[in-house]
Amino acid sequence: MTSGWLSWVRANDVEIMTLLQNQASILVKAASVLAESISDFSRLKENNTTLKNLEQEGDQLTHKLFTIIDKTFITPLDKEDISELTSAIDQVLDATYGTSDKLVLFKIQKPSLHLQELVTLLVTATQGIYKGVSELHKGKREKLLIHSKAISKCEHDGDSVYRLAIANLFETHNAIDIIKLKEVYETLENALDRSRDVADAIEDVALKYR
């Protein structure tokens, strides 16, 4: 990617890039709050409220981004790329809050080792997303690809943890606990899957604008 590929950015383009970065920042906060909940279940309900507020704040940013790009003739990235990025980030945030909400609704009493491993990977993935989104306006192709690969690795490692978690879960004999925890694992794993979508979107931008 050549230097200055966003040199023609107009005033509202700065707003678009800032909103994307703010959206990614909220996602990092949400993943960190979920990790805190899983480390200390005594804060689960309190943190779930925080996560709900972050999810709603993220929704507002997503809506604002779609409104802006719909009214803007020229955007810093292709409209399709911006839409893909903001939608994927929003889906990661939704699944992050969804994990917490299911922990509360299902009255899960204590975290499993696999749950802790998955949420640690999610935190790392969201940090990579923030770094990648923050690099978009700089146009550094190599750095964008590095961040994309780092996010994708988290998703790949998460698949391995998820498979092991499900295998171990079915070695237990409490059908209700199996159903509850399987739902939680699936939602958290979905958050990692959607982070891979963000990574793919960042990679697409890196390869397109060179």
- pLDDT tens-digit profile of 67-125? 888 776 555 677 788 889 999 999 999 999 999 999 999 999 888 899 999 999 999 99
Question: CB-based contacts of 171: which residues, under 8 Å, 6+ apart?
Answer: none
Going 70 to 80 to 66 to 20, the CA torsion angle's sign is negative
Residue 189, exposed/middle/buried by CB under 10 A (0-12, 13-18, 19+)?
buried
Q: What is the pLDDT of residue 8?
A: 38
Q: What is the pLDDT of residue 73?
A: 55
Q: What is the pLDDT of residue 17?
A: 87
Q: Could you tell me the pLDDT band of residue 49, with boundaries at 50, 70 and 90?
A: very high
Distance of CA 117 to the CA centre of its chain: 16
Q: What is the pLDDT of residue 137?
A: 75
Question: Is a pLDDT exceeding 50 seen at residue 30?
Answer: yes
Comparing CA positions, the residue from 124, 138, 136, 137 lying closest to residue 195 is 124
Residue with tokens 């959206």: 23
Q: What is the pLDDT of residue 209?
A: 65
The per-residue pLDDT for range 53-74, each reduced to its tens digit, is 999 999 999 999 988 887 765 5
Q: What is the pLDDT of residue 31?
A: 98
- CA-CA distance, 167 to 205, in Å (whole number)? 37
Domains of the chain (ranges, CATH numbers): 11-208 (1.20.58.220)
Q: What would the two tokens of residue 192 be?
A: 């990692």
